[in-house]
C-alpha cells in the first residue's frame, strides 16, 4: 500500500491508502468514493460485537452457528479448487469465513476484502472488522444501489470499491443497506449485566442488607441526641425481632405525624434475588437460544438421555433451518464473484462447507449410504 493525501471538503486533508501502481483513472475512482455520502449504520457494531464478551450463552450460540456453517471449504469445481489451493490470505481462509459468519450472527454484518496482485487479479480474501467499515452511497447506471466502502484502521483510510468487497449481511427492515442481528438479545444481556453487577458488588463488599427503607416526605430519625422520637431505631429493633416461624406473620406499624409521609420496605434478599432473579436469568437465556435457534445441547445444556437430547431431530432442524440457509447464501455470493472476476459458471452445489448431520450419523447409517451408492 502507498499513502496518498486526499483533500476532503468535509474533513480537510485525509491520508488514504491506495494499492501501488494504480492508473490515474483508478485513483480518481477511489477519490470519488471519499466524496460519496456515508450511510449511518443501524447500530454500533463495536458494541454489538462486545456483547460476545459479556454473555456466554450468546457467545456460545454465535460460535456454534459459525462453527457449524463453515466446517471446511472445499469445491468440486477444478478451477475453484485450484484457486483455493493457490489463494493468498492473511488468515487461514476457513477461519476467516468462519469468523465472518460469527460477526454476521452477532451484529448482522461481515466484510471480506478481495486481495489482488499487481496485475489486479483476485488472489485471496482478508477479513475486516465491521466497526471499521463505512458504507458509502453509490447508485449505478441502472439506478440500483451499489455501495462502496471505506475502512478506517489505525488512523489510515482505505477506500474500497464495490467490486473489491464481499459483504455478507442479515437483512433488516431498519435499513436497505446495513444488516442487523442479535438486537433483541442485546436487551436481555444488558439486564443480565445489571444483575451480575449487583451480585458482584454484594459478594465483593459483603453486602448482606435485607431491606432498603424508603421514606418520602418525612424522616424516621430523631434529634441528634437520639431522644425519643427516633422512629428508625424502633423500626430496626422490630425488624430484628421478627424472626423465625413464631413471628413470621407479625405486623409492624409505622406511624408518622406528618401528612403525606410514605414509608416503604424494599427487600433485597430472599425471594426477590434467589427466586425472581434466577427466573429472570433463565428466561433471558432461553430467549437468547430461541432467537439464535440453537439446540440447548449444542452449548452443553442438555445431553443424550435428557428431554430434547435423546435423538437428532433438534440437530436436523438446526442444520436445515439455521446453518444451511447461511451456507447457501454464501455459496451464491461466491458463485457470483467467480463469475464476475473470471467468467466461470460455477454451480452452487460444487461448494462444500461441511454438513453438521454427518457428525451424528451412526455406523449403520454410514454403511447404508455406502450400500446405496454401490
What pLDDT sits at residue 309? 46
Residue 372 has pLDDT above 70, yes or no: no
Question: Is pLDDT at 198 greater than 60 in this prediction?
Answer: no
- Hey, which of 222-231, 255-264, 319-328 has the most confident mean pLDDT? 319-328
Least confident of 48-57, 92-101, 261-270: 261-270
Domain limits, the chain:
2-48+72-181, 187-298
Give the C-alpha separation, 133 to 128, whole Å.
Answer: 8
DSSP string computed for 254-311: ---SSTT-EEEEEE-STHIIIIIIHHHHHHHHHHHHHHHT--GGGGTS--TTSTT-SS
3-state secondary structure of 316: helix
Name the DSSP class of 233.
H
- Calculate the CA 70 to chain-centre distance: 17
pLDDT at position 362 is 65
User: Per-residue pLDDT tens for 237-296?
Assistant: 766 665 555 545 455 555 556 666 666 666 655 544 556 667 777 888 889 999 999 998
For the chain, give the mean pLDDT: 80
The answer to whether 254 touches 236, Cβ cutoff 8 Å, is no
Reply yes or no on whether the pLDDT at 4 is more than 90: no
Buried residues in 72-81 as b, exposed as e (16+ CB within 10 A):
ebebebeebe
Sheet hosting strand 148-153, strand order edge to edge: 2-8, 12-18, 156-160, 148-153, 133-136, 38-39
In the numeric block, the cell 423500626 is attached to 235
Sorting pLDDT into bands at 50, 70 and 90, what band is 312?
confident
Least confident of 68-82, 164-178, 214-228: 214-228
Report yes or no: 268 and 288 within 8 Å, Cβ to Cβ. Answer: no
C-alpha dist (Å) from residue 32 to 27, 29, 121, 176, 320: 9, 5, 22, 22, 43
**32 burial level (CB within 10 Å; 0-12, 13-18, 19+):** middle
Range with top average pLDDT, 10-14, 203-207, 270-274:
10-14
96-120 average pLDDT score: 95
Q: What angle do CA 34, 17, 27 make, to 5 degrees?
A: 60
Residues forming a β-bridge with 352: 74
Grid cell at residue 289? 437460544
- Using the predicted structure, report yes or no on whether residue 151 has a pLDDT greater than 80: yes
Least confident of 163-167, 246-250, 301-305, 322-326: 246-250
Average pLDDT score over residue span 325-337: 96
Amino acid at each position: 500500500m502507498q499513502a496518498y493525501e486526499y483533500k476532503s471538503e468535509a474533513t480537510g486533508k485525509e491520508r488514504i491508502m491506495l494499492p501501488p501502481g494504480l492508473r490515474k483513472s483508478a485513483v480518481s475512482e477511489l477519490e470519488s468514493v471519499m466524496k460519496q455520502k456515508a450511510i449511518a449504520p443501524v447500530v454500533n457494531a463495536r458494541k454489538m460485537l462486545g456483547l460476545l464478551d459479556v454473555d456466554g450463552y450468546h457467545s456460545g450460540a454465535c460460535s456454534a452457528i459459525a462453527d457449524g456453517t463453515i466446517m471446511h471449504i472445499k469445491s468440486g469445481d477444478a478451477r475453484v479448487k485450484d484457486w483455493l489451493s493457490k489463494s493468498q490470505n492473511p488468515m487461514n481462509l476457513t477461519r476467516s469465513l468462519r469468523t465472518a459468519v460469527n460477526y454476521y450472527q452477532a451484529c448482522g454484518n461481515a466484510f471480506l476484502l478481495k486481495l489482488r496482485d499487481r496485475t489486479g487479479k483476485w488472489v485471496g480474501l482478508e477479513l475486516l472488522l465491521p466497526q471499521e467499515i463505512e458504507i458509502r452511497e453509490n447508485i449505478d447506471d441502472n439506478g440500483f444501489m451499489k455501495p462502496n466502502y471505506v475502512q478506517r484502521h489505525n488512523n489510515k483510510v482505505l477506500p474500497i470499491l464495490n467490486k473489491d468487497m464481499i459483504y455478507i449481511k442479515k437483512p433488516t427492515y431498519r435499513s436497505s443497506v446495513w444488516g442487523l442481528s442479535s438486537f433483541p438479545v442485546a436487551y436481555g444481556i444488558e439486564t443480565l449485566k445489571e444483575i451480575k453487577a449487583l451480585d458482584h458488588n454484594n459478594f465483593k463488599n459483603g453486602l448482606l442488607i435485607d431491606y432498603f427503607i424508603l421514606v418520602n416526605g418525612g424522616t424516621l430519625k430523631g434529634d441528634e441526641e437520639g431522644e425519643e422520637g427516633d422512629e428508625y431505631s424502633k423500626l430496626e429493633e422490630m425488624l430484628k425481632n421478627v424472626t423465625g416461624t413464631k413471628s413470621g406473620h407479625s405486623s409492624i406499624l409505622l406511624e408518622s405525624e406528618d401528612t403525606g409521609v410514605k414509608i416503604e420496605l424494599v427487600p433485597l434478599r430472599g425471594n426477590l434475588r434467589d427466586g425472581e432473579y434466577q427466573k429472570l436469568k433463565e428466561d433471558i437465556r432461553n430467549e437468547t437460544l430461541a432467537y439464535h435457534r440453537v439446540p440447548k445441547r449444542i452449548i452443553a445444556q442438555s445431553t443424550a438421555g435428557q428431554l430434547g437430547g435423546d435423538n437428532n431431530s433438534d440437530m436436523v432442524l438446526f442444520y436445515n433451518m439455521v446453518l444451511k440457509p447461511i451456507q447457501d447464501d454464501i455459496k451464491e455470493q461466491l458463485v457470483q464473484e467467480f463469475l464476475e472476476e473470471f467468467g466461470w459458471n460455477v454451480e452452487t452445489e460444487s461448494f462444500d462447507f461441511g454438513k453438521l448431520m454427518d457428525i451424528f450419523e451412526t455406523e449403520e447409517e454410514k454403511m447404508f449410504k455406502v450400500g446405496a451408492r454401490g
